[in-house]
Copies of this chain bind each other. A is one copy, B any other.
Amino acid sequence: MLDAAVAIFSRRGYHAAGMDEIADAAGISKPMLYAYLGTKEELFIACLHREATRLVQAILDAVRPEAPPDEQLWRGLRAFFRFVDAHRDGWSVLYRQARGQEPFAAEVAAMRARMVELVSGLLPRSTPDDVAPIAYALVGAVEAMADWVVDHPGEDPGLATTRLRKLLVLPRGRED
C-alpha cells in the first residue's frame, strides 16, 4: 500500500500526484487511504520514513562494527548502492523530492544526519573540527553516485563503490 504511494510519488512528484491516483494504484479507495495513512502530507512522510528506515537498516546490517573503520565504510557503501539499485523508486526519487519541499526537509535532514554521523565515525580523525562538513560532502558524493546508479539501471552497482574509491582519498591516505 505504501508501495503504490511510493511508486506514484516517484513517478509524478509530490504535488502532481493525486490521492485518487494513489488510491487507484493501491487498489483501494480514497477513504481507506485516509483511514490508514492520514493526510497526503502524512502519507508522504510515511513513505519517506519507511524508505529511510529500510535504507539505514540495510547499511547497519552490512557494517561489521568489529572491522577496521575503512572496511566498515566500504561495506556500508556497497550496501547502500545495492539498496538504492533495488529500490529505485523508493529511495532516490523520494529523496530528490523531499529535499526541497519545505514540510519534508526535516525528515530528510534527520536521515542525512544519521548517515553523516555514521560516516563521521569512520573518517580519519586528522581534522576533528572539519569532520562534519567533510562528512557532509562525502555523503553528497555518495548520493550523487546513487543518482548515477539509479539513472543507469543494468550496471553493476558494485562499480559505484569502486569508482568512489578512486575519487576519495580516505582508503589509501589514512593519517590517523
Give Cα distance in the complex from A144 to B152, angstroms. Answer: 21
For A133, what are the chain B residues with a Cβ–Cβ distance below 8 Å?
145, 148, 152, 159-160, 163
- Stretch of A22-30, A50-58, A67-75, A99-107 contacting B (4+ beta carbons < 8 Å): A99-107
Does A167 lie within 8 Å of B168, measured CB to CB? yes
Give Cα distance in the complex from A13 to B104, angstroms. Answer: 11
Give Cα distance in the complex from A164 to B134, angstroms. Answer: 7
For A46, what are the chain B residues with a Cβ–Cβ distance below 8 Å?
none
Looking at chain A's contact residues, the main secondary structure is: helix
Which residue of the partner chain, among B16, B148, B169, contacts A173 with CB atoms under 8 Å? B169
Count contacts on A: residues with CB < 8 A to the other chain. 42
Which residue of the partner chain, among B13, B93, B137, contacts A144 with CB atoms under 8 Å? B137
Give Cα distance in the complex from A143 to B15, angstroms. Answer: 25
Give Cα distance in the complex from A48 to B5, angstroms. Answer: 29
For A166, what are the chain B residues with a Cβ–Cβ distance below 8 Å?
126-127, 130, 134, 169
A114-150 interface code vs B (CB 8 A; 1 in, 0 out): 0000000000001100100110111111111101100
Write the chain B residue with the least CB distance to A10: B100
